Amino acid sequence: VQLQASGGGTVQAGGSTRLSCAASGLTFSSYVMGWFRQGAGKDREFVASINWDDYVTYYSDSVKGRFTVSRDNAKNTVYLQMNSLKPEDTAVYYCAAKRSRTVVGTQYDYWGQGTLVTVSS
């Protein structure tokens, strides 16, 4: 299984960017997909997740209303649209996959490498 995240970079505060995560080696349409992040010196934290069939989404309070998670099962790809970015959003962002029917919870089966998002003030 491979989860390849891309789209990181440096963005100004208040700006937007979109992360992508391309999955291979698994039946993508049967997995909940999640996004996590880890800032320097901080623990990894949950950001957002999306269910595999009804596309139900779930967000952390810190990003709710600013970030949107979506997926394209035909392309085996999950996205994270990040708007109104703040310096505290600076982190390495990871995508993950779990064989589950719930978008809640942080136990995932597979993890990708991270992509760094830096928000400059």
3-state secondary structure 19-48: EEEEEECCCHHHCEEEEEEECCCCCCEEEE
**Between 105 and 57, whose confidence is greater?**
57
Residue 17's pLDDT is what? 98
Closest to 63 measured CA to CA, from 19, 30, 22, 29: 19
Q: Pull the structure tokens for residue 71.
A: 């997926």
Convert the pLDDT of each residue in 60-104 to its tens digit.
999 999 999 999 999 999 999 999 999 999 999 999 999 998 999
Residue 75's pLDDT is what? 97
Q: What is the largest CA-CA distance in the chain?
A: 40
